[in-house]
Structure 1
């Protein structure tokens, strides 16, 4: 009955069928619950006609919306339905969202609903799907329970076994990562490369002052700046600038003006080594011309001639 009451409080007016679907009961159960609420003095009104249903009279409002301990775990994922689904929290998240909205005043609830109607967060990159993570639920269970795990991890095509202390899971650009301690050192593991997970009996000892978000930011910055960079000067069509921005080192992405107009622009940007610069720029085809350094320019020319020769033979 409380769930039915909160649905009416949050959504205004609902038909018996809509209530039955949301509460996963039959319409007869909805009718009995409504009758019980009316008998208890709750002003539920039955509206007849094609646009009818049930609604609360006179702005009736209850604050009997307390979250259970399990439901509280889903609070961090409000607005992130896909993420909650990955972790098996979808049903719980729906309940939490209803309870949170029901606890708000009328004006605050309207603002929250307007915000949800106007802003949406999609953490998955364009033209891509999330990597399969069949062991994600096992990893999440270990994180919740603060238990050591033994994982089978694939790196460079080789399966290795590692025993780690899981500290948290991070979703970055649509892909999941496990942050853990191994031999006292913090490590990051791509969840899609974890083939097996064995839950161990030993409890994780979380470092004092550990904050997952801060640790992830530090790890990401370290990874993005650990490579030796080379500066490359190019002439490139403005239409290819968005693709170029995704290829250069993160420290140089702000040098690329995505609003530039005209045919070509000349700019100098950093790459993570000459090998990557050559591979990345070749992928842009005739849209780009390398001007410097001379060694990369010569390498690009040789690669282009070699590719052309394959089509001439």
Structure 2
């Protein structure tokens, strides 16, 4: 009934059908709850007809909008309903959100509503779906309870076991990562590759001054700035510049003009020759390798082999 009352305070007039949907109850239960609120002296008015519904009369406002401890923990995911659902915080987040809106003045609530209508945050990359993360809630429990965990983790196609001290979970471009300490060193694990989690009785000892935000920034920078082993000079058409920029390592992205309208000669670093060959082949005739000669020959060999396969011969 309190949630029903908060919805009326936030949204004004709400139909019985919509309240039933929001509260996951029947319309008959909505009617009974409204009758109970009226009997308690709360001025709820009902209007019949297609445009009817329930509303609070006479500017009634409840002050019972305090956010609970569990709801407060979910506030970090305001605007991230999908990740909150993955962590099992969806209902708590919605409860906290409705209480925050109910506590606002009319003008502030209208500003918040207008902002929500005009700006939206979508953390998932284009043309993809979130990776399955069946162990996410267990890892979240290990992080929250500050307990050591034994992970079964798939690395290079093989399962390995690691005993780690979970420090926190990070959502980056739609993928979840665990930041943990192992043998005194910071480690990151892609949550989708965790096959099982066993919480241990031993507590986690967090390093003094540890910052999850800083730890993630350092891990990301280390990965993105890993030394590249090959520098490629190539000629590329403007149509593939955005794709080439996405495929290139971070140190080489700045030199790729995504607004180019003519063919360009570029110098692009890659992690290794195999990845450079794969990336360049994916762009077909729109990219030509000029140097080094070994990569140019490797790409040519792959193209000749593909031509033989598709040429109808044996």
Judge same fold: TM > 0.5, yes or no. Answer: yes
Measure how far apart 1:163 and its partner are: 0.9
Single out whichever of 28-37 and 193-202 deviates more from structure 2: 28-37
Which residue is equivalent to 1:206? 206
Report matched runs for 1:15-26 at 5 Å. Answer: 15-26=15-26
Q: Distance in 2 between matches of 1:23 and 1:279?
A: 52
Which residue is equivalent to 2:35? 35
Which residue is equivalent to 1:128? 128
Equivalent residues, number: 312
Q: Distance in 2 between matches of 1:169 and 1:96?
A: 21
Single out whichever of 14-23 and 146-155 deviates more from structure 2: 14-23
Deviations 1:111-156 (A, max 9, x none): 2122222222222212222221111111111111111111111111
Unpaired segments ≥5 residues, structure 1: none
Unpaired segments ≥5 residues, structure 2: none
Measure how far apart 1:37 and its partner are: 3.2
Superposition RMSD in Å: 1.8
Which residue is equivalent to 1:271? 270
Q: Distance in 1 between matches of 2:43 and 2:229?
A: 69
TM-score by length of 1: 0.93
Which residue is equivalent to 1:300? 299
Deviations 1:225-275 (A, max 9, x none): 12324332221111111211111111222222222224x222222222222
Q: Distance in 2 between matches of 1:308 and 1:138?
A: 49
Q: Secondary structure at the match of 2:42?
A: coil
Q: Distance in 2 between matches of 1:60 and 1:77?
A: 30
Q: Secondary structure at the match of 1:300?
A: helix
Measure how far apart 1:40 and its partner are: 4.2
Measure how far apart 1:29 and its partner are: 3.4
Q: Distance in 2 between matches of 1:140 and 1:91?
A: 17
Q: Distance in 1 between matches of 2:107 and 2:53?
A: 23
Q: Secondary structure at the match of 1:233?
A: strand
Q: Distance in 2 between matches of 1:67 and 1:243?
A: 45
